[in-house]
Amino acid sequence: MSLLVSGYVLEVCEFIVERDGENGWLQLGGKHKHIGYMKARFKTKKDAVTYYDRHNPHMRSLNAHGTYQSDWDPNTKLFYIVRKNHGIIDTVNPFSLDDLPTQVISDNSSQITYKMLS
């Protein structure tokens, strides 16, 4: 398997707004739930911010607070954090399906090729 383990990724998290119930933050023990990592790669933190900002014009910049963490979107309840890429399996599609990586699987290997987005 060939993975590019450099650059940056976007971690996708959900902001839990409900207090009560089995899916409420009181029962879950916190208001921030990890969803996964986006199937996208960025050379720099700035590239990740630019990508997020371009696809979320209704939101403040991902780095508006200087933390590389977006506000949570009131429509989706999701927020994004720029993280160093450590080769963790990504599970969340990018904002545009045109930005998905390509994967070639053979008998004994798998090669994933990412576009370096900005």
Closest CA to 33 of 51, 11, 53, 52: 11
pLDDT > 50? residue 62: yes
Rounded CA separation 56/52 (Å): 6
- For the ranges 2-16, 23-37, 42-56, 72-86, the lowest mean pLDDT is seen at 2-16
pTM over 0.85: yes
What are the distances in angstroms from CA 14 to CA 9, 54, 79, 104? Answer: 16, 20, 6, 31
- The full set of domain ranges for the chain reads 8-117
Q: Please tell me the predicted confidence (pLDDT) of residue 56.
A: 98
Name which of 2, 18, 54 is nearest 10 in CA terms.
Answer: 54
How far apart (Å, rounded) are the C-alpha atoms in residues 113 and 102?
5
